[in-house]
Amino acid sequence: MSSNHVYPRTAGQGQRSWLCRDDLDRERLLEMDVELRPLRRKSLCLLGIGIIASGPWIGWWPVAFIVPAGLCYGAADVLMFRSPRPEYVMLAGWLGAQLVISIALALVGSFAISAIALLAIPVITLGSRFPLPGIVVGVAATIGLMIAVTFGFHTTEVLAEPTLVIAPVALVLAVAVMSIPLMRSDIQHRSDAVIDQLTGMLNRKALSTRSEELAQQALISGDPVGMIVGDLDHFKQINDTHGHPVGDSVLKDVAYLLRKQLRAFDLAYRLGGEEFLILLPGSDLERAVELAERLRERVSAEPLGAGVPVTMSFGVSASSRGEPFEYGVLFAEADAALYRAKQTGRDHVGLAETDAELPAVM
């Protein structure tokens, strides 16, 4: 990845974490987790089949450990969309599954030495989710578990034949090293494809993928999803009066102000021109309206760009708890609410399913 690559500012009041540097990292983590779920289930099934096939020699009881390993991943799948730091939840789920597998290996006797290399399999998925710090933590934890299982339960065998632990550790390191360039290439291509180059926000292509993921997640969790559509007022006049460079500067500043007010797992998109969209997992209509009003106040509170006064109108909609998230329906409602806000006099917040408007704070 080139050193001059520019990442968008992180959502959640500009906060970042050591696992996710920006919106793009979180978007990539959430998207890849959805892609990996069916493959992860198949891998656990294959691991179970392998244990069953080895049952005459080691017993069939280790199959029971497949269930808690799967539960670690399943809990992370649900909780990560409710957490302000979904990357921590996902890493915790991954580490929990590795720990469960390690405990199972520690209890199967001498078979653990030949099977310890199985811990290298989940390492393959680290690079598809996390940047380098996450890979380092996952690899270090895996090697630590390997050493604990082999030396802690089979000290005599390992001291007599150190290659029993050296070989699987080398395998884990090799898998991790090979995954790093793939991770960097994926981040580069993903950024080029889904990032609006002017504002650093996610674009329509990223929105299409994310809306499908949110629909799946809403079916699992039953949580509502809020949507805010915003549009700068009289933006054409800004371009005509002050020039397009000033207009571009205004768009950048507005994008930054919007992102600063969001939680880490909220996602902001530039739809094109002066129109923006924000998705709010777990937020009902009331919370979405409160955020939209706060955004409206922040945009109008200070001159942007080259000191140009700017106002913004918003339309808000949200799915109800327990109901499916239908992007097309919510967008139509939010867009209609935005139109009403514009017709009311601009610098307003329009609500879906009602003609009432929140009063503008001047």
- Give the Å distances, CA to CA, from 137 to 24, 74, 131: 20, 21, 11
Question: Which of 157, 221, 199, 151 has the alpha carbon at shortest distance from 23?
Answer: 199
Residue ranges with strand state E in the chain: 225-232, 267-272, 275-281, 312-318, 349-351, 357-358
If residue 190 lies in a helix (H) or strand (E), which one and from where to where? helix 163-194
267 neighbors 225 (Cβ within 8 angstroms): no
In eight-state DSSP terms, residue 319 is P
Does the annotation mark 326 as catalytic?
no
Q: CB-based contacts of 187: which residues, under 8 Å, 6+ apart?
A: 1, 24, 25, 28, 131
Indicate which residue of 213, 274, 293, 333 is catalytic: 274
Q: How far is CA 348 from CA 164, 171, 301, 338, 343, in A?
A: 68, 59, 14, 8, 9
What is residue 109's three-state secondary structure? Answer: coil
Residue with tokens 């001291």: 159
- For the chain, how long is the longest CA-to-CA vector? 82
* Tokens, residue 57: 């020699």
Nearest-5° Cα angle at 26, 20 to 27: 150
Length of the chain: 362
Q: Report the helix count and the strand count for the chain, using DSSP H and E.
A: 14, 6
Give the dihedral sign, CA 37/43/45/48. negative
Q: Which residues are catalytic?
A: 274
